């Protein structure tokens, strides 16, 4: 299952595969997101999630819900 908590637990290879699939869904749901916003860099999970929260104006809980619903 793809969820906010699982993002934090996945190894880099697992996350990259899943993330490529899920970022398309996020871009459909939030037209303001760009590829740069959704770029996953190894060791930068928390930073990327934080940037998404800021860009979308969402709390951590709201982001968890959004990602859990994908």
C-alpha distance from residue 16 to each of 2, 12, 21, 23, 61 (Å): 12, 6, 9, 10, 23
The pTM (predicted TM-score) of the whole model is: 0.65
The domain locations on the chain are: 4-69
C-alpha distance from residue 17 to each of 30, 32, 40, 46, 65 (Å): 21, 23, 11, 18, 21
**CB proximity list for 25: less than 8 A, separation 6 or greater:** 70
Q: What was the pLDDT predicted at 59?
A: 93
Q: What was the pLDDT predicted at 35?
A: 87
Question: What are the tens digits of pLDDT across the range 8-57?
Answer: 666 666 666 677 778 888 999 999 999 888 887 666 778 888 889 999 99
Q: What was the pLDDT predicted at 58?
A: 94
CA distance 3 to 23: 13
Q: What was the pLDDT predicted at 68?
A: 83
């Amino acid at each position: 299952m793809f969820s906010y908590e699982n993002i934090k637990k996945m190894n880099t290879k697992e996350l990259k595969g899943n993330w490529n699939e899920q970022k398309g869904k996020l871009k459909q749901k939030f037209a303001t997101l760009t590829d740069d916003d959704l770029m996953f860099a190894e060791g930068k999970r928390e930073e990327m999630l934080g940037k998404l929260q800021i860009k979308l104006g969402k709390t951590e809980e709201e982001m968890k819900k959004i990602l859990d619903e994908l």
